[in-house]
Copies of this chain bind each other. A is one copy, B any other.
Amino acid sequence: MTPSNPLNALNFSGGPGALPDSVLQQVQEAIRAVPEVGLSILGISHRSDWFAAVVAELEDNIRRLMGLPADYRVLFLQGGATQQFTMLPMSLLAGRSEPADYLHTGYWSGKALPEARKVGPVRVVWSGEAGGFGRLPADGELDFNPRAPYLHYVSNETVEGLQFHRLIGRDDVPRICDMSSDFLSAPGDYTRFAMIYAHAQKNIGPAGVTVVILRDTLLADAPADLPAFLDYRAQIAAHSILNTPPVFAIYVVLLVTRWLLGEIGGLAAMERVNTAKAALLYRALDDSDGFYAGHAAPADRSKMNVAFKLPTPELEATFIAAARAAGFSGLGGHRSIGGIRASIYNGLTFGAVEKLVDFMDGFRRQAPRP
């Protein structure tokens, strides 16, 4: 196989993000020929026995990693989280009089709101908008409606770097969570969710495929006349092959789950790595005498996205340019909040964070003080 490219290891992009080098090497080989098939992954039919086995193994890997019992369905769809937060109110909110509970904790949970409101009544349980999305709500601020059709929230706000480190909501109301940016990053009691969705391009693969996990009892009262491709029941009946699925992206996600189960050793082991990476990086912020000012309240700091600012926008631009020259990429903050964002998804190694922290320490010592 072609030797690896060291620059990929220093890719701190918010997504599409870094993938493990061993996965990239297998993908590269599969472009020429998938070993057990003999054909390029780009030319293998989604109706082949081989692809059916890919989907079956991937589903099984996700069930094992997350501890999902048989009454959960696992789907691989297109359209990203956007398609999901559009589809789910069509099935679960249309025609309801009781509003669904939504949390507005950042950029992505905010994107879900107008799409739900087009379909049915929505109640925003809590919004961090007035506070610039600098923190998440405390339990005492959350008054959930026991009659809500469902609760929708985002477990990790990618843009602001805010992550729930606890379960929220009521067990008697379907808990629906967009886990796009912390999916398969740590173990959890996933059976307390009625539905989880996550696009691949943060922790588990390339852009173009979205994993959806749901209990099919959730769909008992969904409208009968939905467009087939927006109807979870039709997608379940077709085993994610209602129409041609993104074969390549699904195969890459399979390789990532094999890496999680094998090389890494499961989600508890993955969490240990992720916790160590985040601790190292936040310590660099905390030990910087305010030079690197973290965006998130310490209790809600994300282990996936570390957003921070430097004393001036000019210094931030200098920082990004110097980092790029040193081989680091993807460090620019999201255009909605600016600043710096280091995304440290599953595929990014502890060693890469060590290198970034070294770079940050050196940059700080050389920087002019305002």
Q: Does A329 contact B (CB under 8 A)?
A: yes
Q: Name A40's contact: one of B24, B40, B44 (CB within 8 Å).
A: B24
Q: Does A248 contact B (CB under 8 A)?
A: yes
Please name all residues of chain B whose beta carbon is closer than 8 Å to the beta carbon of A18 when the two chains form the complex: 43
Docked Cα-Cα span, A43 to B207, in Å, equals: 9
**Identical copies in the complex:** 2
User: Nearest-CB distance from A13 to chain B (Å)?
Assistant: 5
A202-261 contacts to B (CB < 8 Å): 205-209, 225-230, 242-249, 252
B83 touches A206 (CB 8 A): no
Please name all residues of chain B whose beta carbon is closer than 8 Å to the beta carbon of A11 when the two chains form the complex: 39-40, 43
Residue total for A at the interface (Cβ-Cβ under 8 A)? 63
Central interface residue in A33, A47, A228, A248, by most chain B CB within 10 Å: A248
Known: A45-B15, A82-B229. A31 touches B24 (CB 8 A): yes
Please name all residues of chain B whose beta carbon is closer than 8 Å to the beta carbon of A7 when the two chains form the complex: 33, 38-39
Nearest B residue to A345, CB-CB: B43
Known: A19-B40, A225-B118. A32 touches B13 (CB 8 A): no
A245-282 contacts to B (CB < 8 Å): 245-249, 252
Q: Does A115 contact B (CB under 8 A)?
A: yes
Q: Does A149 contact B (CB under 8 A)?
A: no
A82 touches B243 (CB 8 A): yes
Please name all residues of chain B whose beta carbon is closer than 8 Å to the beta carbon of A24 when the two chains form the complex: 31-32, 40, 42
A228 touches B115 (CB 8 A): yes
B247 touches A248 (CB 8 A): no
Docked Cα-Cα span, A88 to B48, in Å, equals: 30
Binds B, one of A73-81, A132-140, A288-296: A73-81
A178-221 interface bits toward B, Cβ cutoff 8 Å, 1 = contact, 0 = none: 00000000000000000000010100011111000000000000
A42 touches B28 (CB 8 A): no
B207 touches A46 (CB 8 A): yes
Q: Does A330 contact B (CB under 8 A)?
A: yes
Docked Cα-Cα span, A230 to B226, in Å, equals: 14
Please name all residues of chain B whose beta carbon is closer than 8 Å to the beta carbon of A247 when the two chains form the complex: 16, 206-208
Nearest B residue to A28, CB-CB: B31
Docked Cα-Cα span, A114 to B242, in Å, equals: 14
Known: A31-B27, A227-B118. A207 touches B4 (CB 8 A): no
User: Nearest-CB distance from A241 to chain B (Å)?
Assistant: 11
Please name all residues of chain B whose beta carbon is closer than 8 Å to the beta carbon of A225 when the two chains form the complex: 118
Please name all residues of chain B whose beta carbon is closer than 8 Å to the beta carbon of A19 when the two chains form the complex: 40, 42-43
User: Nearest-CB distance from A364 to chain B (Å)?
Assistant: 26
Please name all residues of chain B whose beta carbon is closer than 8 Å to the beta carbon of A16 when the two chains form the complex: 42-46, 244, 247
Q: Name A115's contact: one of B40, B83, B227, B244 (CB within 8 Å).
A: B227
A79 touches B82 (CB 8 A): no
Docked Cα-Cα span, A229 to B247, in Å, equals: 22
A-B contact pairs, 25 of them (CB 8 A): A2-B2, A7-B39, A8-B32, A11-B43, A13-B44, A15-B244, A16-B44, A18-B43, A24-B32, A27-B31, A27-B42, A28-B31, A31-B31, A78-B80, A79-B79, A81-B243, A82-B242, A82-B243, A86-B227, A114-B228, A206-B246, A207-B244, A207-B247, A208-B208, A248-B248
In the A-B complex, the 5 residue pairs with the closest CB atoms: A208-B246, A82-B243, A78-B78, A28-B31, A86-B227
Given contacts A5-B38, A115-B228, 17 further A-B contacts (CB under 8 A): A2-B28, A5-B39, A5-B40, A8-B43, A13-B44, A19-B40, A28-B28, A43-B330, A78-B78, A79-B243, A82-B229, A86-B227, A114-B228, A118-B225, A206-B246, A246-B246, A248-B248
